[in-house]
Amino acid sequence: MTQGMGYVDPAYLDAAARLAAGGKRLSYERMRISPGATVLDVGCGPGTDTRALAEIVGAGGFVHGIDHDREMVEEAERRAAAEGLAGRVEHRQGDAYALPFADATFDAVRSERLFLHLDRPDRATAEMVRVTKPGGRVVVADTDWGTRSVDTPEVEAERKIARVLAEHCLANGYSGRRLYGLMRGAGVRDLAVDLIPLHVDGYELWRLLSRMEMAFEEAVRTGAMTEDEVRRLDDSFRDRDAAGTFFASTTVVMVSGTKP
Ligand SMILES: C[S@@+](CC[C@H](N)C(=O)[O-])C[C@H]1O[C@@H](n2cnc3c(N)ncnc32)[C@H](O)[C@@H]1O
């Protein structure tokens, strides 16, 4: 695929997965799956969740993963094979806007941090609902990048960079806060919302996870911040880090419900 803005690689996703482990487990609970279930993960990346789901559905169930990035799919297949799960999980290249499955195929369908890459999240939601069986579960989770917040004396600049991240570095950076409306609009019933706070206490990891290099470049390129503002903000983060007081947080929004 074209590695456009917002592209992430498996190493990035591994770091994010370690931070998001609790939220991932909660999403499996919200799917309410048991051994024998057939489930789908849309935007599966390198298969962190498909492999975990394979353990839950067991030998009598099956897990499908879809991602539009061929390299992610290949990595997911490699990892599943290495864990002896090849017969219980299948990863395929496919598009969230046109899922390659018949109506009412799955007991549960999930996506995590997919919608922030989508400019038509409503189409992807409709597709997820279409392939879910009546009475099946739909679970979507996304970070709200507008909730990126870092302790710094450069308060104005810190707010500006949060907006640059949400508005210029991703197709749909405020995705998290929009999931509830999307799921309601798609007719999903009995909606439940979970808010999952994440925090990071080191600038190196935050820099990676928040794609600060891209954000700083975009801030200057779009005129949202001056080079001097960016430098002072970056310096303030480094100072906090050196003092052992760097602190950043963000919130993941998870919305789950039942297809009527
Ligand atoms: C931030 S990653 C999250 C991966 C995984 N869900 C996780 O939590 O580790 C987003 C994934 O969505 C995939 N993706 C983006 N747009 C897509 C689309 N239109 N259809 C299918 N996959 C897509 C990307 O290739 C990437 O692997």
218-260 pLDDT tens trace: 999 999 999 999 999 999 999 999 999 999 999 999 999 999 9
135 in the Ramachandran plot: left (φ > 0), alpha (ψ -120 to 50) or beta?
left
Residue identifier of the C-alpha nearest atom 16 of ligand 1: 117
Task: Write out residues with Cβ below 6 Å of ligand 1.
Answer: 8, 13, 17, 43-45, 48, 66-69, 72, 95-97, 112-114, 117-118
Report d(CA 227, CA 181) in Å as an integer: 37
Between residues 19 and 192, the one the model is more confident about: 192
Report d(CA 146, CA 128) in Å as an integer: 25
Report d(CA 64, CA 75) in Å as an integer: 14
10-258: CATH topology: Rossmann fold (3.40.50)
88-134 pLDDT tens trace: 999 999 999 999 999 999 999 999 999 999 999 999 999 999 999 99
pTM, whole model, 2 decimals?
0.94
**In the numeric block, which tokens belong to residue 46?**
């390198």
Q: What residue ranges do the domains of the chain occupy?
A: 10-258
161-176 pLDDT tens trace: 999 999 999 999 999 9
Report d(CA 91, CA 72) in Å as an integer: 9
